[in-house]
Amino acid sequence: MHSTEVLAVGILDSSSVQDLMETLDWYVQNMNHSLHVITQEGKLDIPALQKRYKDVTFLVFAGNAFTGEKINALANECQTNLFLVVRSDVILARFNGQLLLSKMSESDHPAAFCAVVANAYREIIPCLRIPRLIGKELDPESDFPILDEQQIQHTLYPLMCLGLYDRALFQRLRGFDEEIHSEYYQALDWGLRCHLLGYDLAMSSSLLMQFTDRESVIEDRSDCKGYERCYTKALSVHQMGERNIVKKFKGPFDKAAYQNEVKKRMVWLQKRDFSTLVEQWKEGKL
């Protein structure tokens, strides 16, 4: 299959111009699929870069945008089966294309392969995520992934949205929620939605990314505008026997999400509720 029909690479412009050019040079030389750079107006000399990288598409946002919005734009723009999300301050340390593309072509493939992440010292960080609710707070557990390319694990969401996505399924799941103003909550919301609707998110060291200049790689889990939407969508549907029922969550709550997302969509589509997800995860029954 021709590479541009199968895979697109989206590079989030997240550091210096020099880092971006070095990243682009590497991909052009080593992984020259359909390349896209997602950046912000005024940050780059776009005409000069377009002259140098004639086959690269630049997606330019007029102002600040959260990661989820950028990836939604990438999914709309690229015309491939799969897309890979990376960053300009990250190197693709391992990409076992044969294994990953084979797994993503199977009928029961995951919605995405989430990247295993390493820091500047090449130390693997606890990037595997496990669903957990403490009281009324969504607080996913973190663990270290198994470093065996043949061992595929379940994970709740992609850390910093880094991963290999099925484009059609991503769009069918309606992408990241742009009304949530946080990379962490956008990723968590999307991951929960995948699992509650019956899809899986996988993790394997066959997809490994390294932050070259960061000793610690920590997500910002602080509350943000729209974070209540994540809680409302994840925790308002409950399974009673074979029926889904809607019950207003008594913690963080968003009325619009409850009316427009939960009552009109989630209640009819969910395959499991959050408590069932946690139970199945612990019992290894996913």
Q: Which residue has the tokens 């210096």?
A: 16
Do 134 and 178 contact (CB within 8 A), yes or no? Answer: no
What CATH number does residue 164 fall under? 3.90.550.10
Q: At what angle do helices 67-77 and 183-196 cross, to 10 degrees?
A: 60
- The number of CA neighbours under 13 Å toward the Cβ of 246 is 15
Is-contact 128 111, C-beta < 8 A?
no
- Residue 30 inside a domain? The answer is yes
User: Do 7 and 87 fall within a single domain?
Assistant: yes
Domain holding 39, by residue range, is 3-211
Residues 53, 195, single domain; the answer is yes
Are 79 and 201 within one domain?
Answer: yes
Q: Enter the tokens of residue 129.
A: 């995520």
Q: Are 71 and 161 in contact (CB under 8 A)?
A: yes
Residue 242: its pLDDT value, please? 86
Torsion of CA 211, 36, 183, 110, to 10 degrees: -90
51-80: pLDDT as tens digits: 999 999 999 999 889 999 999 999 999 999
Distance in angstroms (rounded) separating the CA atoms of residues 135 and 139: 10
- Take residue 186 and report the two structure tokens written for it: 């956008």
Measured between alpha carbons, how far is 132 from 207 in angstroms, rounded to an integer?
A: 25
Let me know whether 70 and 186 are in one domain: yes
Q: Looking at the structure, tell me whether residues 202 and 63 fall in a common domain.
A: yes
Question: Considering the domain boundaries, does residue 195 fall inside one?
Answer: yes
Burial of 47 (0-12, 13-18, 19+ CB in 10 A): exposed
35 and 134 in a single domain? The answer is yes
pLDDT in tens, 135-166: 999 999 999 999 999 999 999 999 999 999 99
Mean per-residue pLDDT of the chain:
95
- Residue 77 sits in the same domain as residue 198: yes
- Give the containing element (helix H, strand E) for 12: strand 7-12
Domains held by the chain: number: 2
Which of 167, 184, 211 is a domain's end point? 211
For residue 33, what pLDDT is reported? Answer: 87
SS3 of residue 258 by DSSP: helix
Asked whether 15 and 86 are in contact (CB, 8 A), the reply is no
Contacts for 282-286: CB closer than 8 Å, 24+ residues apart: 286/154, 286/195, 286/200
> Are residues 111 and 248 both part of a single domain?
no
Shared domain check, 242 and 189: no
Q: Is residue 218 part of a domain?
A: no
CB-based contacts of 21: which residues, under 8 Å, 6+ apart? 49, 52
Compute, in degrees rounded to 10, the torsion defined by CA atoms 190, 199, 102, 68.
Answer: -10
Which pLDDT score, from 0 to 100, does residue 3 have? 42
Per-residue tokens: 139:
């607080």
Closest CA to 144 of 166, 165, 159: 159
Evaluate whether residue 217 is within a structural domain.
Answer: no
Whether residue 23 is found in the same domain as residue 113: yes
- The structure tokens listed for 190 are 């999307």
Residue 220 lies in a domain: no
pLDDT number for residue 4: 46
What is residue 285's predicted lDDT score, i.e. its pLDDT?
A: 78
In the block, residue with structure tokens 């009928």: 107
Q: Which of 181, 211, 241 is the last residue of a domain?
A: 211
Which residues are within 8 A (CB) of 214 and not within 5 positions of it... i.e. 6 or more apart? 89, 119, 120
Q: Which pLDDT score is estimated for 51? A: 96
Same-domain status, 148 and 269: no
Which segments in the chain show pLDDT lower than 70?
Answer: 1-4
**pLDDT for position 82:** 97
Same domain, 176 and 75: yes
- The reply to whether 185 falls in a domain is yes
Of 19, 17, 74, 75, nearest in space to 48 by CA: 17
Domain boundary among 184, 211, 238: 211
